[in-house]
Amino acid sequence: MSKTALITGASNGIGYELAKVHAENGDNLILVARGKNKLDELKYELEEKHNISVFTIGKDLSQSGAAQEVYDELKLKSISIDYLVNNAGFGDFGLFAECDWNKQERMIGLNVTALAHFTRLFLPDMISRRSGKILNVASTASFQPGPTMSVYFATKAFVLSFSEAVNEEVREHGITVTALCPGSTHSGFQAASSKEGSKIPERKNIATSREVAEYGYQAMMKGKAVAIHGFKNLILANSVRFAPRSMVVKFTRQMQEKKL
């Protein structure tokens, strides 16, 4: 029997590729993002190519109550979710004292509140069935503070800590929660975060969204608690535990700052 995956932020980047990976593995899809036209284009492509069912929902998940609205709509249609993929999120680049607070608030609403609310909504159903998997897209930013992207790094630290804690709580029910931690990735993230001027995008040989999506899917299916994509990212993420935090935060700022 086919499984059903709900994927947020599926209109581009890692979420877009995760939708393709799930479709290739025969899963029906619920795709959620603000850009419904893009979702519908993907829907027709995947349905025709893989003979699956795809249902799209246009929703700004940064808005209060949006996750509940999605859950209620699926309940009315008697759609059960086997795989919950909380991918939607965005960042912002700049000094916190000079930031657009409304954008920071939307970021927290999307990266933190919507992710936690979706998890809270769908977990009881999974527990009652004693099956289900959740993939929360965190970041290598989860492992240290991030000057010039302070709120973004903090939201991803929440995602990692939250995912690990809930994973421990639900394992006894046959459910796993995986925190996917990619590093720099070719996606729409840089443009959305106003980060084009930072030094990070200049790194060569960074991962593609497809590579991260494939890795994340496999990690979720294996039930890994924390999945750090790429050997160098794995080393860097773990090395910060052994360095003084004052050194880590200064190094991160040097990596993040815009060119003069």
* pLDDT at position 202 over 50: no
159 and 118 in contact (C-beta within 8 Å)? no
Residues in the chain: 260
The confidence score (pLDDT) of residue 194 equals 54
Nearest in space to 257 (alpha carbons), one of 209, 207, 195, 210: 195
CATH code of the domain made up of 4-256: 3.40.50.720
pLDDT tens digits, 147-192 = 999 999 999 999 999 999 999 999 999 999 999 999 888 765 545 5
* pLDDT at position 260 over 60: no
Give the position of tokens 């443009």. Answer: 191
What is the sign of the dihedral through the CA atoms of 256, 258, 259 and 260? negative
pLDDT tens digits, 210-257 = 999 999 999 999 999 999 997 887 887 777 776 667 666 765 676 676
Query: What pTM was computed for the model?
Result: 0.89
The confidence score (pLDDT) of residue 235 equals 80
The confidence score (pLDDT) of residue 94 equals 93
* pLDDT at position 199 over 50: no
The amino acid occupying position 93 is F
Nearest in space to 119 (alpha carbons), one of 129, 105, 106, 132: 132
The confidence score (pLDDT) of residue 246 equals 65
What is the sign of the dihedral through the CA atoms of 99, 100, 104 and 107? negative
pLDDT tens digits, 7-45 = 999 999 999 999 999 999 999 999 999 999 999 999 999
As a whole number, mean pLDDT of residues 144-148 equals: 90
Instruction: Label residue 201 by pLDDT band (50, 70, 90).
Output: very low
Name the token pair of 192: 């959305």
* pLDDT at position 200 over 60: no
> Higher-confidence residue: 240 or 105?
105
Residues annotated as catalytic are 152
Q: How far apart are CA 205 and CA 27, in angstroms?
A: 31
Nearest in space to 117 (alpha carbons), one of 174, 80, 63: 63
Spell out the domain ranges in the chain: 4-256
Q: How far apart are CA 64 and CA 13, in angstroms?
A: 24
Q: How far apart are CA 61 and CA 68, in angstroms?
A: 10
**Percentage of residues of the chain with pLDDT beyond 70:** 87
> Higher-confidence residue: 197 or 242?
242
CB neighbour list of residue 132: distance below 8 Å, 6 or more residues apart: 81, 82, 83, 84, 122, 123, 125, 126, 174, 175
> Higher-confidence residue: 200 or 145?
145
For residue 253, count other CB atoms closer than 10 A to its CB.
14
